[in-house]
Amino acid sequence: MSLVRINITASVILILLSSTPAFGDDDADDIKQRIGKGDPVAGKTKSALCQSCHGEDGNSTISSFPKIAGQYAAYIQKQIKDFKAGTRQDPLMTDIALTVTNDQDLFDISAYFASQKQMKGAKAVITKAGQRRFESGNGCQTCHGIKGKGLAPDSPFAPVIGGQHKDYLIKQITDFRNNARTNESTGMMGLISDLMSDEQIEEIATYESGL
């Protein structure tokens, strides 16, 4: 698949989403839209187990545990469902996801993490090459939004990745490239990562994790 083809496919997806890249925010209205129908207050209690790895407010301190603070509730729900169905696999998360058997619990838990301020990098480490790739015509921000903070609060198509742990970003992009992670429904992440060298993955993860 050529870059041109990916460019066209990305544009078509965007037209279907009829969204423009926007800057995610933490104002009350944005938070309300990204939490969906769950109850974040109930979710705080229900998510005690999750907090032990992902951090009390979803900002984990260990880089192999992704930050989920301010992530779209709908994206969190999709990942839990994918882990349960086996379409995404991880030695730790697969078993844990299977413990979430009640839909309302999943809505509440994901609403709690989505209600937190969006994840943020500890410090901005801007690699020019990473930034260029992120912002280029068919770049990551087309789907992941400006600074990787999502397209719009009511548009959970692609996850928040700006401010995520660098090591986790590298692992996910590499997993997409190796077909170890295939749960992205359009197949675009697989195609995009196929074109990336280890060095390019490192550059972009350095850039994104600092946002």
Residues that bind ligand HEC (CB under 6 A): 10, 13, 47, 49-50, 52-54, 64-66, 68, 76, 78-80, 90, 92-93, 96, 100, 109, 133, 139-140, 142-144, 157-159, 161, 169, 171-173, 183-184, 188-189, 192, 204
Nearer to ligand HEC, 29 or 138 (CB): 138
Burial (CB < 10 A; 0-12, 13-18, 19+), residue 15, is: exposed
Nearest distance from residue 192's CB to ligand HEC, in Å?
5
Nearer to ligand HEC, 31 or 143 (CB): 143
Nearer to ligand HEC, 1 or 49 (CB): 49
Nearest distance from residue 169's CB to ligand HEC, in Å?
5
174, 193 in Cβ contact below 8 A?
yes
Nearer to ligand HEC, 28 or 143 (CB): 143
Residue 70 region by backbone torsions, left for phi larger than 0, else alpha for psi between -120 and 50, else beta: left
Nearest distance from residue 176's CB to ligand HEC, in Å?
7
Nearest distance from residue 30's CB to ligand HEC, in Å?
19
61, 98 in Cβ contact below 8 A?
no
CA distance 172 to 74: 19
CA distance 159 to 76: 9
Name the amino acid, one letter, at 149. K
